[in-house]
Structure 1
Amino acid sequence: MKLPADVGLLLAKRFASQHRDWLAATAADRHWPQVIALGLPTEQAALRQVEAVRAWAEAWRAWRGPGELRWTERRWKVLGTQSLPDTLTLHEPAQAAMWSGEHERWQRAAARFDLLTARWPALAGRLPRLFGVLADYADADFQRLLDLLAWLLAHPRSGLYPRQLPLAGIDSKWMEQRRGVLVDLLAALREAADQDADFYALSGLRRPPVQLRMRVLDARLRARLGGLGDVTAPVEELARLALPVSVVLIVENLQTGLALADLPGTVAFMGLGYGVDLLAQLPWIAPARGLYWGDIDTHGYAILQRARGHLPGLASVLMDQATLLRCAPLWTDEKVQHGAADLAALTVAESLVYRGLKEQRWRPNLRLEQERIDWDFAWTALSQAVQAAHPGGPAPR
């Protein structure tokens, strides 16, 4: 026998799993009406729990809520004629939403669905999976979304940067936080076949240039740049430099890169993180020897693996087990480890440390940030690595 509270739990589960389907429903949809059997007992079952049956029937007599409650009459030999609750019929999703405590969200989502599809029918098939956007966006953000979609459709090839848009409350940060939603909606409106289409291609906006920060650590190389030693520029412009470098040093953290002193024939790139792919666009660094110095944590090795996809000869510095154990008092925590159990592009020594981190060999979620390493020790090791990689230096071990 289902009490009103039991029906509420049942409908809460249905809402959680089916609300997107309900939003997409048509008048002839198979979801409605929904008939919920309340568990009408037989006389034998009722005789075993008379008080429970009485309480169950009274609970439904006292109930006031959405849906059509159907009662049925039973003529029993022992208990006589009884009027008992039989089924509850819900005719629309709004009634189920009321039962599950989601009525306000449902009403808002349904109203916004109707508004958007009336204006842009092509969105009808896409919006149900964006239920959270429809249900939970603040009114101001939803209006901004409408304004932005309308403007982009009216100006399909504007060529403007995001911050140039003449729309109140919309800037590049606002759009970045909602990029997935915008791509989803624009792909439907542009009838894009590729669901992974690029936001800038779909919107007609101009992509802000991707910039790299590079330090030139050799006076002769700086002379080729008018004396500049710390350069931040779009990657396309850096690609045209053609500097005759012999060593390319990649350091994971910005301040570590800023602390570097001069090293012969060397340029350093810093703060790239997983953006190391960008270095593949600089053809003049390909002949150089590459060195990578990152944090000793799982993501540091994952970045190293990614960088090796573009610079196959890349060697790591200060990312070995000896450095890790030497700096034990400086260990911190890596909040979320990289997902891979192993990384194929690592050397044997690097894999030993990576697997140790994944297996919690030394302690859970261990991390050694590169900037915590004693600088005198680090600089000595780094200088020796550059000397070994530089033409005329000792052969690398």
Structure 2
Amino acid sequence: MITAQEIRNKTDKKYISFLQSLVEQKPFEKLVIRGDKSYTKSSLPEFEKEIQQIVSQSKERKGSGYTLEFQLVKTKFLASQNLPISIYFDTEKDFLKFLGKEKEVELFKSDVEKITNAFPELKDWIIKNALRVITNQMEWDNILKVCQYFKQNPKPNLYIRELPIKIHTKFIERNKSVIRELLDILLPEHVNSEYKEFEKRFHLKFSEPLIRFKILDKQISQEYFLGIDDLAIPISQFETLNLPIKRVLVVENKTTLYTTLTLPKMDRTIAIFGSGYSVYNLKNANWFFNVKLFYWGDIDAQGFEILSQFRSYFPHTKSMLMDKITFEEFFENDKGTPTGVSTKLNLTDEEQLLYDILKTNNWRLEQEKIPLYWVKENIL
């Protein structure tokens, strides 16, 4: 036999489909809660307690809620007893009062009307995301203001906080997820769908990550940057950099970036701070295809995984100081970070062999621990 808690749980599960029926303007239909008509327990007091709990929450006792219909059923241990054979909600009011959702649904109806009046094309989204309408219950006026602005100005080319919308300056940033879903529907011809980032997707200005690099050729430093050899510029500017460079070193750690400045003069060469997996930021620097490209990372599993990632953008990349001889010379039994990567990497046979050893033993040699004399003797 169904318990009072099971009735509650099953009723909760009906809520989303009820909200969807409201959006579709379907009239409320008798809502049945399916229960088990059998009863196998042998204790009469326990039986009476369970029946009492079910009845105490019913419409008969509380004036609203579910209706019970009983039938005399012959049980295995308790002879013939009246068991609930039908549990149902007659009206929308009974259903909502039982769930305690009257006020929430009142606001939901108001929000649905507000949204569909402004943008009828969002009706299907509401049906699929009824609970998200409720989650954002206090925000819909401002969300719709944002949508209306973008509808009229699909390519603003402004920073988010510059947008001339009468909302809190941080509102869009706090509500990007739901606004993005709506704009994808409302602006199908203007969405820059190749990007996931909100700003790029909807033609907004944004604060770009900076690419930090050092110029290792003093002549280039003097001629192009008044002697400045340590720079950080936005990605978009770095991607269009036009310098007489023939060689690029990408290094994983910031300390090692400083080390590169102590190297012997390196003609037409720059060193870039890759910052681990942030090498992703370099993937559109197409001028890399016209230079010799080297990657120098930690000798650990992650170092080779980052090398593999970088090589997927630029297949001609060569590793630097990430070899077995260097590892065996300076390894100090340091432990690395376990990796769960199981896919095949873009590594040479020698790199793959060392990677497997490092991964199996969870070993690490950080590039900072390689002495400068060794770097100078073996670099490039």
TM-score with structure 1 setting the length: 0.72
Q: Give the length in aligned residue pairs.
A: 365
C-alpha distance 332-37 of structure 1, shift in aligned 2 (>3 A) = same
Secondary structure of 2:351's counterpart equals helix
**Residue type of the partner of 1:348?**
D
Separation in 1, partners of 2:276, 2:244: 25
Structure 2: where are the runs of 5+ without partners?
none
Q: CA deviation at 1:222?
A: 0.8
1:1-397 correspondence runs (5 A): 1-12=1-12, 14=13, 19=16, 21-25=17-21, 26-28=24-26, 33-41=30-38, 48-64=42-58, 67-74=65-72, 83-90=82-89, 112-130=111-129, 133-137=132-136, 139=138, 144-167=142-165, 168-171=167-170, 175=172, 178-192=175-189, 196=193, 198=195, 199-200=198-199, 203-209=202-208, 211-225=210-224, 226-263=226-263, 264-265=266-267, 266-271=269-274, 273-296=276-299, 298-320=301-323, 326-328=330-332, 330-331=334-335, 333=337, 337=339, 340-356=341-357, 361-363=360-362, 370=367, 373-374=368-369, 377-386=370-379, 388=380
Structure 1: where are the runs of 5+ without partners?
389-397
Superposed CA offset, 1:102-156 (max 9, x none)? 88877766654443233322222224555564344584x6554333223222333
C-alpha distance 133-319 of structure 1, shift in aligned 2 (>3 A) = farther
Separation in 1, partners of 2:98, 2:252: 53
| Backbone CA RMSD of aligned residues | 4.2
Separation in 2, partners of 1:273, 1:87: 63
Separation in 2, partners of 1:32, 1:148: 37
* Percentage identity across paired residues of the two chains: 21
**Residue type of the partner of 1:8?**
R
Whether the 8 Å CA contact 1:317–1:382 is kept in 2: the answer is no
Q: CA deviation at 1:186?
A: 0.2
Whether the 8 Å CA contact 1:212–1:234 is kept in 2: the answer is yes
Q: CA deviation at 1:249?
A: 0.9
C-alpha distance 284-186 of structure 1, shift in aligned 2 (>3 A) = closer
Q: CA deviation at 1:94?
A: 9.0
Q: CA deviation at 1:59?
A: 1.7
Separation in 2, partners of 1:157, 1:357: 49
Secondary structure of 2:155's counterpart equals coil
Separation in 2, partners of 1:115, 1:181: 16
**Residue type of the partner of 1:188?**
I
TM-score with structure 2 setting the length: 0.75
C-alpha distance 347-127 of structure 1, shift in aligned 2 (>3 A) = farther
C-alpha distance 111-346 of structure 1, shift in aligned 2 (>3 A) = farther
Whether the 8 Å CA contact 1:187–1:195 is kept in 2: the answer is no
Superposed CA offset, 1:249-281 (max 9, x none)? 112234442453144132011145445355454
Superposed CA offset, 1:85-115 (max 9, x none)? 2222246899778877988877766654443
Q: CA deviation at 1:216?
A: 0.7
